[in-house]
Amino acid sequence: MGNKLKIWFVTPQMTMRPKEYNHFGDRESYSIYLARNATEGCQMSIISLEGARKNMSVEIVNDCDAGFTVELLREHYVSCDGALFPDPVVPNDTTFDLEEMKSVTYLINIVTNPDTKPGGYGIKVILRQDGEIYGEYDIWVTVWNFAIDHSALMETAFGMERSFLEKICKPADIDECYKKYYDFMLERYHICAGFLPYDILDARADEYMNNPAVKSFRIPYNAKPETVTAYYNKLKTNPEWLKKAYYYVVDEPQCMADYERIEKAYEFIEKYHPNHAQVVPFYMNPRDGEGKKAIDLLSRHCKVWCPKISMFKDDYMGKFMLEREKLGDRTWWYYCWEPGYPYSNVFIDMDNFYHRTIAWQQYLYGINGMLYWSVNWWKHGSPWDVTTTVPELSNYCFGDGSLLYNGDEVGIDGPVGSIRMEILRYSIEDHYMFSLAEKAFGREYIVNEISKVTSCVYRYTDIHWLLDDIRRDIGNKLNEYYGNC
């Protein structure tokens, strides 16, 4: 549509910075493939190559009688040491002005439900200036005839801090605020915060513990026999509650004294809550325990194994985790302010491709859960203003522990998501699709397909858009399989 204003669509795996332009030519349409009960998207960028543009707006026209909805999310920019990167995704932010050579990007999500009709559909994206249509663009949607089962997705345990919600959001009711953020993560992103919105002993917690989408929840640790006993007495009334519940007492043991603390806590809890599950995230062998390995020291205490992803650089960890899974243990892994590239992580300045490969690598290694330390570590200020979240560890670690935004900054009563969380949602659903493919076509098939994109925790294809092709091929093969069942 002319030479001075450019509109193009790209894969969600690309991080579209404000001056990014035209990596793959003028692509003024896009094709999205997804299962029923799933979400998948694309990005639409608009840039003025000459002069500013005022009073622009975007509209989605969805006349399909298929039973899916379309989300339009504006990607806002935050500063990473002066460099702008997209991260907050704001809904219903459909009007904008264009500065010269500074693009505006939208994430367009297709959201299906269990009853969405499989098939091919078309929707329109309409761009206006001063109320007049500037251009119309096509998004072609293919809905596969299999569904993502939200009750069978991987386990997640992401920390969320009440104190920072209270500090930054300043809610009238912190409990209601925490619940709003908890529900947002669970319902939108399939992610469980560590602690439930209500204490386990509160009858209101039962609804969450009964919810099949809630795969895990943390038991508050209190070194009082009567408290541990009270939690256990309630949880044991429902075997499913007991399966989901875990203790998290010691984080990242580094020396033998830390393992002594783990042993002491284990013995105490076990006395009043027999056969309890405890998670101990770890990333190293004890520095003062010559010849001792973390996995040996934890073998008595852990039923939820959670090494840092960087430990999988050695083959023994992957093999060990598979052995523990066969023994009935739960297998998780975790990220934090490290590792950085070439490992996947969820830093703001890391390309979206690496966020998407997180659950791909989990499936490759047979890992069924993901732990992350915090989604709102706003210790040093508002996430809209401060992205260097752990300066005591690194001045160049952007967005670590901060995956959500406080909505009051943009007139929203509640949380605002991030492009990183949107990509994680896609990845978690991919993980389930891989399980369907393994059941249909065998483990060797799906490992070979994933390995075309990422063959281990530090190796990837140089062609990042290949991920879309591999995902589409797997989905199309499943679509054909289920069509013949």
Consecutive H or E run containing 460? strand 459-460
Cα distances from 23 to residues 107, 125, 233, 366, in angstroms, run: 17, 21, 59, 35
Which region, left, alpha or beta, applies to residue 82 given φ > 0 means left and ψ of -120 to 50 means alpha?
left
- Per residue in 366-397, pLDDT (tens digit) is 999 999 999 999 999 999 999 999 999 999 99
- Per residue in 30-67, pLDDT (tens digit) is 999 999 999 999 999 999 989 999 999 999 999 988 89
What confidence tier does 222 reach under pLDDT thresholds 50, 70, 90?
confident
Q: How far apart are CA 179 and CA 70, in angstroms?
A: 26
Is residue 464's pLDDT more than 90?
no
What confidence tier does 22 reach under pLDDT thresholds 50, 70, 90?
low
Tell me the chain's radius of gyration from C-alpha atoms.
23
Kind of pairing, strands 104-111 and 69-80? Answer: antiparallel
Q: Residues 206-220: what's their mean pLDDT? A: 98
Cα distances from 61 to residues 58, 93, 139, 219, 318, in angstroms, run: 10, 16, 10, 46, 47
Percent of the chain with pLDDT over 70: 97
What confidence tier does 4 reach under pLDDT thresholds 50, 70, 90?
confident
pLDDT at residue 21, rounded to an integer = 62
Is residue 317's pLDDT more than 80?
yes
Percent of the chain with pLDDT over 90: 92
Q: Residues 186-193: what's their mean pLDDT? A: 98
Neighbours of 13 (CB within 10 A): 21
* SS3 (DSSP) at 370: strand
Which region, left, alpha or beta, applies to residue 92 given φ > 0 means left and ψ of -120 to 50 means alpha?
left
Q: How far apart are CA 291 and CA 199, in angstroms?
A: 42
Is residue 23's pLDDT more than 80?
no
Q: Residues 426-435: what's their mean pLDDT? A: 98
Which residues is 103 bridged to in the sheet?
none
pLDDT at residue 19, rounded to an integer = 81
Is residue 422's pLDDT more than 50?
yes
pLDDT at residue 391, rounded to an integer = 96
Q: Looking up tokens 């640790």, which residue turns up? A: 221
Is residue 2's pLDDT more than 80?
no
Is residue 223's pLDDT more than 90?
no
pLDDT at residue 26, rounded to an integer = 58
Q: How far apart are CA 471 and CA 477, in angstroms?
A: 10
Q: How far apart are CA 399 and CA 420, in angstroms?
A: 10
Which residues is 142 bridged to in the sheet?
33, 120
pLDDT at residue 485, rounded to an integer = 55
pLDDT at residue 123, rounded to an integer = 96
Q: Residues 245-260: what's their mean pLDDT? A: 97
- Per residue in 76-103, pLDDT (tens digit) is 999 999 999 999 999 999 999 999 999 9
pLDDT at residue 1, rounded to an integer = 42
- Per residue in 262-310, pLDDT (tens digit) is 999 999 999 999 999 999 999 999 999 888 999 999 998 899 999 999 9
Angle at 177 between CA 359 and CA 84, to 5 degrees: 55
Angle at 409 between CA 103 and CA 419, to 5 degrees: 50
